[in-house]
Chains A and B, each alone.
Chain A
Amino acid sequence: MKIFTALTLAALIFTGCSSESGSETSEPRTNDRLTFVNYRDIRDLNPHLYAGEMYAQEILFERLVVLTADGYAPSLAESWEISEDGLVYTFKIREGVTFHDGEKLDAFAVEKNFDALIENKARHTWLEMMRLLVSAEALDENTFQITMEAPYYPMLTELAVTRPFAIMSPAAMKDGSTKDGVEAYIGTGPYKLDSYVTDEYAIFTAYEDYWGGAPAIKEIYVKVIPDNQTRILALENGEIDLIYGKNMLDADAINKYSSSDRFEVALSEPTSTRHILLNTQNEILQDINVRMAIQHATNKEAISQGIFYGLEKPADALYSPTVPYCNVPLTAYDFNMDKAEEYLEAGGWILEGDTRVKEGRALELTLRYNSDSVTEKSIAEYLQSEYRKIGISLSILGEEEQSYRDNMKSGAFDLVFNISWGMPYDPQSSLAAMLERVYGDYEAQLGIEAKPEIDKAIHHILTSVDEAERQELYNFVLRELHYSACYLPLTYESNKALYVKELKNVGFTQSQYEVPFEKMNF
């Protein structure tokens, strides 16, 4: 009987995930229906808050401008002018745009959106632009004007991010307010939300009156499948057409399918830096010797080759030199176990048995990882075995995404996996976010002596008008952060996609969180 249970368990692992939806696979492929997969529910898609899945917010809502590889491009704003002192932005709102509910988009609707955002200003001040905002008003039906307190060079970049500056139908707001939720998710984007069941699926249908022309794929059916292997099996079985995202595919799967004749693999340019945050407030990690030792004991090349098959290149600094302003000459921490041991000895950590000890305190640290991510656990286990060699006892702890983020924000960590935000947020927005408890950065940096100066320099960067001075400040901040050894860069992460051969034009945009469905077709 119990043997039977064991066998069923094994059988379940292999087949259980795919058995329920056999009927769908037998359906012939219709050329305008795409089945997509995500690891979690769409949740609250309110475009002015931060809870929802960004791929969904991107296809439902639009911003005034978008960021492309060639710079800013018009979206809901057809054109714009910036006053010579850099304080006043005048946008000409595109004509003939309607919301999914049929309402007309005009400057007054945009103004109502900004009113709702300003009402909840404190929540958005991680964007410096929001802090510097003086007024946002409609001059007439087609003209919208934003006035700033000081010139701010990344202003349009911040307007272009997925949230919170997405424009929704004022009719769906709750008395003109969005901070406590919205009535419906109604935007101007190429798709509208048709229906959804929490934790099961969401259906988006094409918006036929979309100003940019109705998209080729008429329906997107998004399944929720939390497990990586189940997703791949579902793709194999023809239940889904596309897996897309940074943490949705492991390198082994990519490697396996790169020569398949049924599936295509696509990789984007490096988007962000996968790194580990060392909490300088921690009693052990406040010792720079320990942080230095960890930097030198990390074999990034082995991680890049061994775990990612070279798909992700090793990273030497918090931001890739290709990120604007980040081509700063920094000395990389080379992989050198002897050097790492020297640092630990210098710090007074003496080897006793397997673990080093200093004044009765064992060198024990915990590395937290996001258990929804497909590769962090492997890296964590690898580092655990590597650090053991120099007497650092690392325990690893996987947590579900939300509690992982909460712990990070509150500083409840020794070491934690983190990512830089990628374009278009890097470096200005992610640096600005270090000024407050946005992610773990703020808490992690509090133990650095130069933290007040770093903060001051970041403030200066954001409002600086002189290009050379700005670069100088960036150099200072990046140098300080690098040599304080509180960021342990691992690899430059890429966006990944795996999809059926029939699907065409799967590409990547500047924003790593966006899935450009409207460009795809079968």
Chain B
Amino acid sequence: MIKQFFQSRLSIACLVIILLFTLAGIFAPYIAPNDPYETDLMNKFSSYTREHPLGTDQLGRCVLSRLIHGIRPTLFLSLLAMAGTITLGLVMGILAGYFRGWVDEVIMRVVDVMLSFPSQIMILAVVALLGIDIRNVILANIFVKWAWYARMIRTTVIQYTGKNFVLFSKSIGSGSPYILTRHLLPCIASELVVLATLDTGWTILNISTLSFLGLGVQAPTPEWGAMLNEAKNVVTSNPGQMVAPGVAIVILIAAFNMLGDCMRDAMDPREVRN
């Protein structure tokens, strides 16, 4: 499977892109040419120069520096939200799928309730309830998304619980924790990775959307969605402002989505060949 995955040039390209963004984010202070908070009103909306490779924004701040520093909230907060979602979903899904009975009933009814709400609107509602803050946005994301994972993981767990090697392990007296961590977790891990990769794109978009609407990351912290929002305010006079953050979001999300697709193809070889 891994070999299949690395044969595809697209998947490697996507991996490289994501890796580059991650590194740029981690080493942002060293890479960025200017201080992202440094304003220079006399030099606003300047075009591409050596000093400001992507020009300056409405306060004369370097767009490239803001873009690079913006990777931190945009990408890393999304990954954080993703990690939280997966952890919660995993615990709930395994509990429900392995123990069945009333545990399953309770968890799955809660999941049903969660799934019956449109997720975007739920997130808006949760953020409005908790107050405008990026921490609350992440909480809301986890709160709304975990149910999808719980349901998927439960199904997979049930599927594997019936397999012979698990039954055998049970019959020789392995305890539940042992079976869960040694047999089931590795089996569902690959599927989980694919789903998580596909969904990271969604999360990035979501956090950026909320920042665009003014509910997520607050000024002056550079964040791509918030940068788009500021660019929107000058769309008629300086339309070029939208390009940098817009393109950055498209590239990163496209990379995540295509990577997810490639992983799925690698896992299911039949689909690739027809």
Question: What residues make up the interface of A, taking CB atoms closer than 8 Å to B?
Answer: 1-3, 5-7, 9-10, 13-14, 228-229, 232-233, 236, 250, 252-253, 255-256, 302-303, 305-307, 371, 374, 377-378, 380-382, 384-386, 388, 395-396, 398
B231 to chain A, nearest CB (A): 9
Residues in B whose Cβ lies below 8 Å from that of A395 = 218
Interface: B271 (CB within 8 A): no
B187-223 contacts to A (CB < 8 Å)? 201-202, 205, 209, 214, 218-220
Residues in A whose Cβ lies below 8 Å from that of B205 = 2, 5-6
A6 touches B253 (CB 8 A): yes
A381 touches B219 (CB 8 A): yes
Question: What residues make up the interface of B, taking CB atoms closer than 8 Å to A?
Answer: 37-39, 41-42, 44-45, 58-61, 201-202, 205, 209, 214, 218-220, 228, 232-238, 242, 246, 249-250, 253-254, 257
Residues in B whose Cβ lies below 8 Å from that of A386 = 39
Instruction: Give bound CA distance, A378 to B219, whole Å.
Output: 10
Q: Apart from A229-B235, A255-B237, A385-B37, list 14 A-B contacts with CB within 8 A.
A: A1-B257, A2-B253, A3-B250, A3-B253, A3-B254, A13-B242, A229-B234, A229-B236, A252-B234, A305-B42, A377-B219, A378-B58, A380-B219, A384-B220
A354 to chain B, nearest CB (A): 10
| Residue contacts A-B, CB under 8 angstroms, 16 given | A3-B257, A10-B246, A10-B250, A13-B242, A250-B237, A252-B45, A252-B234, A303-B41, A305-B41, A307-B41, A374-B233, A377-B219, A378-B58, A378-B59, A382-B41, A382-B59
A382 touches B39 (CB 8 A): yes
**Secondary structure of the A side of the interface?**
helix
Residues in B whose Cβ lies below 8 Å from that of A374 = 233
Instruction: Give bound CA distance, A395 to B246, whole Å.
Output: 26
B236 touches A232 (CB 8 A): yes
A385 touches B38 (CB 8 A): yes
| Residue of A whose beta carbon sits closest to that of B247 | A10
B244 to chain A, nearest CB (A): 13
Residues in A whose Cβ lies below 8 Å from that of B238 = 252
B253 touches A229 (CB 8 A): no
Q: Contact partner of B41 among A5, A14, A302, A380, CB < 8 A?
A: A302
Instruction: Give bound CA distance, A425 to B61, whole Å.
Output: 39
B236 touches A253 (CB 8 A): yes
Instruction: Give bound CA distance, A14 to B214, whole Å.
Output: 19
| Residue of A whose beta carbon sits closest to that of B42 | A306
A236 touches B202 (CB 8 A): no
Q: Contact partner of B219 among A3, A250, A384, CB < 8 A?
A: A384
A3, A250, A256, A380 interface centre (most CB from chain B within 10 Å): A3
Residues in A whose Cβ lies below 8 Å from that of B60 = 306
A303 to chain B, nearest CB (A): 7
Residues in A whose Cβ lies below 8 Å from that of B235 = 13-14, 229, 233
B225 to chain A, nearest CB (A): 10
Instruction: Give bound CA distance, A10 to B250, whole Å.
Output: 10
Known: A3-B253, A6-B253. A385 touches B39 (CB 8 A): yes
| Residue of B whose beta carbon sits closest to that of A374 | B233
Instruction: Give bound CA distance, A3 to B251, whole Å.
Output: 9
Q: Contact partner of A306 among B44, B209, B228, B249, CB < 8 A?
A: B44
| Residue of B whose beta carbon sits closest to that of A251 | B237
Instruction: Give bound CA distance, A307 to B42, whole Å.
Output: 9
| Residue of B whose beta carbon sits closest to that of A229 | B235
Residues in B whose Cβ lies below 8 Å from that of A381 = 39, 59, 219-220
A343 to chain B, nearest CB (A): 22
B36 to chain A, nearest CB (A): 10
Instruction: Give bound CA distance, A14 to B231, whole Å.
Output: 12
Residues in B whose Cβ lies below 8 Å from that of A250 = 233-234, 237
Residues in A whose Cβ lies below 8 Å from that of B257 = 1-3
B236 touches A7 (CB 8 A): no
Residues in A whose Cβ lies below 8 Å from that of B58 = 252, 378
B237 touches A253 (CB 8 A): yes
Instruction: Give bound CA distance, A380 to B45, whole Å.
Output: 18
Instruction: Give bound CA distance, A14 to B228, whole Å.
Output: 12
Residues in B whose Cβ lies below 8 Å from that of A13 = 228, 232, 235, 242
Residues in B whose Cβ lies below 8 Å from that of A232 = 236
Instruction: Give bound CA distance, A395 to B217, whole Å.
Output: 12
A228 touches B233 (CB 8 A): yes
A256 touches B236 (CB 8 A): yes
B59, B201, B246, B254 interface centre (most CB from chain A within 10 Å): B59
Residues in A whose Cβ lies below 8 Å from that of B218 = 395-396
Known: A253-B236, A378-B59, A381-B220. A2 touches B202 (CB 8 A): yes
B219 touches A396 (CB 8 A): yes
| Residue of B whose beta carbon sits closest to that of A252 | B237
A385 touches B242 (CB 8 A): no
Residues in A whose Cβ lies below 8 Å from that of B201 = 2
A225 to chain B, nearest CB (A): 13
Residues in A whose Cβ lies below 8 Å from that of B236 = 229, 232-233, 236, 253, 256
Residues in A whose Cβ lies below 8 Å from that of B250 = 3, 6-7, 10
Instruction: Give bound CA distance, A514 to B228, whole Å.
Output: 34
Residues in A whose Cβ lies below 8 Å from that of B38 = 385
Instruction: Give bound CA distance, A233 to B41, whole Å.
Output: 25
A7 to chain B, nearest CB (A): 7
Instruction: Give bound CA distance, A381 to B233, whole Å.
Output: 14
| Residue of A whose beta carbon sits closest to that of B236 | A232
Instruction: Give bound CA distance, A13 to B230, whole Å.
Output: 12
Q: Contact partner of B37 among A253, A306, A388, A398, CB < 8 A?
A: A388
Instruction: Give bound CA distance, A232 to B228, whole Å.
Output: 18
Instruction: Give bound CA distance, A442 to B220, whole Å.
Output: 30
A229, A255, A305, A396 interface centre (most CB from chain B within 10 Å): A229
Residues in B whose Cβ lies below 8 Å from that of A307 = 41
A302 touches B42 (CB 8 A): yes
Instruction: Give bound CA distance, A231 to B45, whole Å.
Output: 21
Instruction: Give bound CA distance, A325 to B218, whole Å.
Output: 42
Instruction: Give bound CA distance, A44 to B3, whole Å.
Output: 70
Instruction: Give bound CA distance, A175 to B39, whole Å.
Output: 59
